[in-house]
């Protein structure tokens, strides 16, 4: 990972305000990084933090989750901040599970809540190059492994 991290910002509807508050609080730090976000979340971030350069993808249920997943599989993301609502059913829950699985497989740092996001952004590795121990070359540990 380079010093400038490639970060996707995603949130379930009921968590958008929490993610937006987190982004506002950390906007000074986030300006040095490349940001992507799904649909409505990206629009809200752009309005609230015009100093941030955020590339908006499609809305999550309309393909944005798959776009994020493709970025992970292509080695184009370092961190996924996906503030999830664990108490509500979501029609695209399979997409959420796929993002979690891909993040794990491709060694992408994943935060699903504000506390974990705080730990990531305050890590001494956040603003400098980082090589995960044991390789971490952006490829799955065993691409030929069968499920």
65 a catalytic residue: yes
Residues sharing a CB contact under 8 Å with residue 43, sequence separation 6 or more, in sequence order: 56
Residue (of 8, 76, 77, 68) closest to 42 by Cα position? 8
Residues sharing a CB contact under 8 Å with residue 54, sequence separation 6 or more, in sequence order: 9, 35, 36, 37, 42, 45, 46
Given the residues 13, 65, 85, 144, the one annotated as active site: 65
Question: Which residues are identified as catalytic?
Answer: 65
């Amino acid at each position: 990972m380079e010093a400038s991290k490639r970060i996707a910002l995603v949130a379930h509807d009921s968590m958008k305000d929490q993610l937006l508050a987190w982004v506002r609080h950390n906007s000074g730090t986030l300006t040095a990084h490349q940001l992507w976000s799904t649909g409505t979340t990206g629009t809200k971030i752009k309005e609230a933090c015009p100093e941030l350069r955020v590339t908006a993808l499609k809305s999550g249920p309309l393909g944005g989750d798959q776009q994020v997943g493709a970025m992970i599989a292509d080695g184009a993301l370092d961190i996924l901040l996906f503030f999830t609502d664990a108490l509500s059913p979501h029609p695209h829950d399979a997409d959420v599970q796929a993002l979690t699985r891909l993040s794990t497989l491709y060694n992408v740092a994943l935060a699903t809540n504000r506390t974990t996001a705080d730990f990531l952004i305050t890590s001494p590795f956040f603003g400098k190059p980082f090589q995960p121990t044991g390789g971490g070359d952006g490829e799955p540990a065993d691409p030929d492994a069968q499920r």
